[in-house]
Structure 1
Amino acid sequence: MERPIDSAQSKAEAAFDGGLYCAESVVRALVGTAEEADLLTRAATGFCSGVARTCGPCGALSGGIIGIGHVLGRAHADRPVAAAYGAVQDLVEEFERIFGARDCDRLLGCNLGSAEGQAMFRERQLHRRCREFTARAAELASAAIARHLQPAEASGR
């Protein structure tokens, strides 16, 4: 039987291989229904390529944060934030431990907002690294969600 973590990684890889970018692919892997996936995938687009090629945080990491918020976030001010914050902190810490950075330009070694960076991305086939970041971010976010999901929420109550 496939574990949810393995499933998230496989789904993220499939979405990335299908042409979605990093943040979009991770979100696709973490959300439930097709309607939610479409909505949140669109919301994630601006986070791809290091926040729209501005050398910001890796889109895969951002997609993981969006997915965590979808599952553990709050819709009302009187609800706690501890589970969502804890899961995001776990994700960011583990991602940085594995890859050594969290920002797109540091991870790839190029600025995707420049023509030179775009050329380097193509020449060095850095999309393979992005696929790796995407798969791992989905795996890590799924694991963080599972760790921080409250028992009542996990049973559907």
Structure 2
Amino acid sequence: MNGEKACHYFTNGYLCAESVLLAIAEATDMENPCIPAVATAFCSGTSRTKGICGALQGATLAVSLTHGRNSPEQSIEDCYSLVQKLTDHFNERNESINCFDITTCDLSTTQGQTYFQENRVKQNKCLPIVEEITDFTINLLHSKA
């Protein structure tokens, strides 16, 4: 259900990391005026640099917002452990954490963006990833609560 909400955001103008973060924030009653803006640069494989998938980045931001530190005295262990589980799960399901590997198109080029549109990569690859990682992350956060 929450993954469906992320897909709704994604199909209605928000990008991958923004959509995942918005849906997780809503599901976990997380309020922060920086959401979704804090996720924007992480979309499209970290701003079209062929980097980490934005859906994974949005989920990682949600983990950090819920389990990150607010002072140097606090432990990093819960946050790091959750992100490691999240990343391992994502990598196992998608055989990579890298946007370029998953989409097989270079979003930094006009040709790559055209390929992305014409081959419905968003619908065929990205939307299922956004949905699944949102639901997985929410379950992960609830199991840790």
TM-score normalised by structure 2 residue count: 0.91
1:135 correspondence with 2:131: yes
CA contact (8 A) 1:55 1:112 kept: yes
Flag structure 1 segments of 5+ consecutive residues without an equivalent: 1-5, 150-157
Identity score, percent: 28
TM-score normalised by structure 1 residue count: 0.84
CA contact (8 A) 2:20 2:134 kept: yes
Distance 2:66 2:9 in 1: 20
Q: 1:59 aligns to what?
A: 54
Task: Select 2:11's aligned residue among 6, 13, 17.
Answer: 17
Distance 1:79 1:21 in 2: 32
Q: How does 1:1-157 map to 2 (within 5 A)?
A: 6=1, 8-32=2-26, 36=32, 38-128=33-123, 129-149=125-145
CA contact (8 A) 1:31 1:70 kept: no
- Cα RMSD for the two superposed structures: 1.5
* Larger CA deviation: 12-21 vs 58-67: 12-21
Distance 1:87 1:144 in 2: 7
Instruction: Give how far 1:84 is off.
Output: 0.8
Instruction: Give how far 1:115 is off.
Output: 1.5
Instruction: Give how far 1:35 is off.
Output: 5.2
CA offsets 1:6-42 (integer angstroms, 9 cap, x no match): 4x31221121122111000000011145852x51210
Number of corresponding residues: 142
Flag structure 2 segments of 5+ consecutive residues without an equivalent: none
Larger radius of gyration: 1
CA contact (8 A) 2:25 2:31 kept: no
SS of residue in 2 equivalent to 1:80: coil
Distance 2:106 2:11 in 1: 22
| Distance verdict in 2 for CA 1:147–1:34, change over 3 Å | closer
Distance 2:129 2:84 in 1: 17
Distance 1:50 1:86 in 2: 23
